[in-house]
Amino acid sequence: MAGSVDRIRGVTQGPAPRARKGGGAAHTSTVAYREAILSGGKRTQRDRIVETLKASGVPLTRRQISGITRISINATCSAVFSLLRDGLLCVAYEDEDLGTRTKAQFLEVTSPAPVQRIFAWPKMGGEPR
């Protein structure tokens, strides 16, 4: 009788099942994520932030970017920090954020500076006489 009561309550006998070694599910998830990125079905958070700033046409704060993209504020701040470090974003100005009444940086996308390339034909033969 005691055994049937334990089964009803969900109590199990013996050790708890252990996780498999080797990480089969983690590997499958990693492969699926990479395939989604490569196919264009999924974009990185950095790409989404840059596209949002380009589409807005006006500088935005980190909190506004987080609200528009639905990326958490912590992840947004981390991605913005790396974009600033890489030179893809810049601080347009600092002003009071109307939502939080604190000083905030308004960010915009920087257009990459054109790179001057020098094309020189290799000299054939020796020095001119």
CATH number reported for the structural domain that contains residue 69 in this entry: 1.10.10.10
Residue 73 counted as domain residue: yes
- Residue-wise pLDDT for 9-48, tens only, equals 555 555 555 555 555 567 777 887 777 767 766 678 999 9
Residue 8 counted as domain residue: no
Residue 53 counted as domain residue: yes
CA distance 86 to 22: 36
Residue 63 counted as domain residue: yes
Q: Is the pTM of this model over 0.75?
A: no
Residue 60 counted as domain residue: yes
Count of domains observed in the chain: 1
Cα end-to-end span (Å), the chain? 111
Which structural domain range is residue 78 located in? Answer: 45-109
Residue 50 counted as domain residue: yes
Provide mean pLDDT across the span 58-85: 94
